[in-house]
């Protein structure tokens, strides 16, 4: 075999380390996530991990980032309800995925850790940017009132699915995703997500 | 002091034990909830706790039951949006309460434990019964289509607030509760929660 390309080897090491991070989270939870444990599991020298990821939260951050890159797909069905259904089904795919569940439970267990909060914000910023394009296109087509807040739409779509995973332990199925999309479509059309809101005066995100 | 009435002493013991259960959950989480730890904290002999509550899950069940008794208030504002806003604000009160947060995080940490799942179902059954009365009255007034599923309405109201607590760590404020109520009101009026659903064929709960 010829010398592996450095980029290829680096990418493979990253993939192996982040897969080991997911495995460790699945088995031992966020409390059991350590650089040493992930190094052992991935068969990579721990000095490499400390140099590249620094801490367990660094591993979690990178795993979330890789996961977000993989999961965010831009829907373009031509209608608001079609696009929101695609987004809800993508969220469903994340929440029924082994890695997705491990990462979400890690985020919940980490609670108010500042670094983890930063990871979450980065994740939602990516997601909200995608939803904002869907919302803008719907507004351009006249399907939505001007000033519809994409971040509110994004949260509302995901919330019932997160609730099923974390709180009620109910099935995460297509019917649940489609109902979430239908709820948000009806509310968005009715102007519920349009600013200025009747209560509160938060600045737009 | 005269001899305490047995009912009064029993009620006081129960209150002390369940308060100690909340304290233990707040400090040590579900993993740290044990009958012995709660007995020490409450200053009650552990034999009493084992006889009355059996296990740590028995304590969690009773704490949830007491909490549900305390939190479920029947709104009757005369309009659907008013009633749903009351329900959302009651949920907000639960989710910003120290005991409420401790219990919810315990439920999430317990994951797929069968006894805890039973506790959750009992909790939601109580809540859904209350929401069903609100939905029935709105249908009687002609504000909602017939066949609106109260359980779906109940889940949809709470979900964005649970998401803020557990996932995004965003503020739990009145604006968030009122927006959740407005979303559900718009969706319910549009018939999104009315059976038969366009997708799936779940029997009514």
**DSSP letters spanning B105-164:** HHHHHHTT-HHHHHHHHHHHHHHHHHHHHHHHHHHHTTSS-TTB-HHHHHHHHHHHHHHI
A-chain residues within 8 Å CB-CB of B187?
Answer: 182-184, 186-187
Q: What is the mean pLDDT of chain A?
A: 86
Contact B131, B205 (CB under 8 A): no
- Say which CATH number the domain at B20 has: 1.10.10.60
Q: Which of A147-156, B90-99, B107-116, B123-132 has the lowest mean pLDDT?
A: B107-116
Task: Closest CB to B108: pick one of A120, A160, A167.
Answer: A167
Residues A56 and A135 placed together within one structural domain of the fold = no
| B146-184 confidence digits (pLDDT tens) | 899 999 999 999 999 999 998 888 899 999 999 999 999
Percent of chain B at pLDDT > 90 equals: 57
Residues B155 and B176 placed together within one structural domain of the fold = yes
Domain count, chain A: 2
For residue A90, tell me if it sits in a domain: yes
Q: Report the largest interatomic distance among the alpha carbons of chain A, rounded to a whole angstrom.
A: 67
The contacts of residue B40 (CB under 8 Å, 6+ apart) are B46
Over 90: is that where the pLDDT of B119 sits? no
Contact B127, B121 (CB under 8 A): no
For residue A196, tell me if it sits in a domain: no
**Counting every residue, how long is chain B?**
205
Q: Are B166 and A162 an interchain contact pair (Cβ–Cβ within 8 Å)? A: yes
Residues B80 and B20 placed together within one structural domain of the fold = no
Helix (H, G, I), strand (E, B) or coil at A101: helix
For residue A56, tell me if it sits in a domain: yes
For residue A37, tell me if it sits in a domain: yes
What is residue B82's predicted lDDT score, i.e. its pLDDT?
A: 96
Residues B137 and B159 placed together within one structural domain of the fold = yes
Q: Which of A118-122, B185-189, B190-194 has the lowest mean pLDDT?
A: A118-122
What is residue A71's predicted lDDT score, i.e. its pLDDT?
A: 55
Residues A179 and A97 placed together within one structural domain of the fold = yes
How sure is the predictor about B2, in pLDDT bands with cuts at 50, 70 and 90?
Answer: very low
For residue A203, tell me if it sits in a domain: no
Over 50: is that where the pLDDT of B201 sits? no
What is residue B92's predicted lDDT score, i.e. its pLDDT?
A: 95
What is the extent of the structural domain holding A80?
A: 64-189
Q: Cα dihedral angle (B22, B25, B27, B31), rounded to 10 degrees? A: 160
For residue A80, tell me if it sits in a domain: yes
Structure tokens at A136: 């803008």
Over 70: is that where the pLDDT of B100 sits? yes
Chain B: residue whose CA lies nearest to A194: B179
Task: Give which of B106, B95, B175, B164 is closest to A112, Cα–Cα.
Answer: B164
Task: Closest CB to B179: pick one of A152, A162, A178.
Answer: A152
Residues B40 and B108 placed together within one structural domain of the fold = no
What is residue A72's predicted lDDT score, i.e. its pLDDT?
A: 64
For residue B196, tell me if it sits in a domain: no
Q: Which of B69-83, B92-106, B155-169 has the lowest mean pLDDT?
A: B69-83
Residues A43 and A69 placed together within one structural domain of the fold = no
Residues A42 and A89 placed together within one structural domain of the fold = no
What is residue B204's predicted lDDT score, i.e. its pLDDT?
A: 46
B-chain residues within 8 Å CB-CB of A179?
Answer: 152, 192-193, 197, 199
DSSP state of B31: G
Chain A: residue whose CA lies nearest to B109: A109
Over 50: is that where the pLDDT of B136 sits? yes
| A1-34 confidence digits (pLDDT tens) | 445 455 688 889 999 999 999 999 998 888 789 9
Give kind and range of the element (H or E) at residue A111.
Answer: none
Chain A contact residues (CB < 8 Å to B): 104, 107-109, 111-112, 117, 120, 124, 152, 155-156, 158-160, 162-163, 166-169, 173-175, 178-179, 182-184, 186-187, 189-190, 192-193, 197-200, 202
What is residue A70's predicted lDDT score, i.e. its pLDDT?
A: 67
Q: Are A192 and B174 an interchain contact pair (Cβ–Cβ within 8 Å)? A: no
How sure is the predictor about B192, in pLDDT bands with cuts at 50, 70 and 90?
Answer: very high
Residues A53 and A106 placed together within one structural domain of the fold = no
Q: What is the mean pLDDT of chain B?
A: 86
Residues B52 and B68 placed together within one structural domain of the fold = no
What is residue B7's predicted lDDT score, i.e. its pLDDT?
A: 64
Higher pLDDT, B26 or B71: B26
For residue B1, tell me if it sits in a domain: no
Residues A184 and A97 placed together within one structural domain of the fold = yes
Q: Residues B126-144: what's their mean pLDDT?
A: 92
Q: Residues A169-194: what's their mean pLDDT?
A: 95
Over 60: is that where the pLDDT of B202 sits? no
Higher pLDDT, B95 or B114: B95
What is residue B84's predicted lDDT score, i.e. its pLDDT?
A: 96
Residues B80 and B162 placed together within one structural domain of the fold = yes
What is residue A106's predicted lDDT score, i.e. its pLDDT?
A: 83
- Say which CATH number the domain at A177 has: 1.10.357.10
Contact B77, B86 (CB under 8 A): yes
What is residue B96's predicted lDDT score, i.e. its pLDDT?
A: 94
Chain A: residue whose CA lies nearest to B118: A168
Percent of chain A at pLDDT > 90 equals: 57
């Amino acid at each position: 075999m010829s010398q592996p390309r450095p980029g290829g080897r680096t990418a493979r090491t990253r993939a192996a380390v982040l897969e080991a991070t997911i495995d460790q989270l699945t088995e031992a939870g966020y409390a059991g996530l350590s650089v040493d444990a992930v190094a052992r599991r991935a068969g990579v020298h721990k000095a490499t991990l400390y140099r590249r990821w620094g801490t367990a939260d660094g591993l979690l951050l990178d795993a979330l980032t890789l996961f977000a890159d993989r999961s965010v797909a831009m829907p373009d069905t031509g209608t608001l309800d079609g696009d929101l259904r695609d987004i809800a089904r993508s969220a469903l795919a994340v929440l029924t995925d082994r890695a997705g569940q491990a990462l979400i439970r890690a985020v919940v267990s980490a609670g108010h850790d500042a670094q983890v909060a930063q990871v979450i914000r980065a994740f939602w910023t990516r997601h909200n940017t995608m939803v904002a394009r869907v919302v803008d296109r719907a507004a351009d087509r006249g399907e939505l009132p001007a000033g519809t807040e994409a971040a509110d739409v994004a949260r509302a779509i995901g919330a019932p699915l997160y609730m099923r995973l974390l709180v009620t332990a109910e099935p995460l199925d297509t019917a649940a995703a489609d109902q979430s999309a239908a709820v948000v479509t009806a509310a968005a059309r009715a102007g519920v997500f349009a600013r200025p809101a009747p209560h509160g005066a938060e600045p737009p995100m």
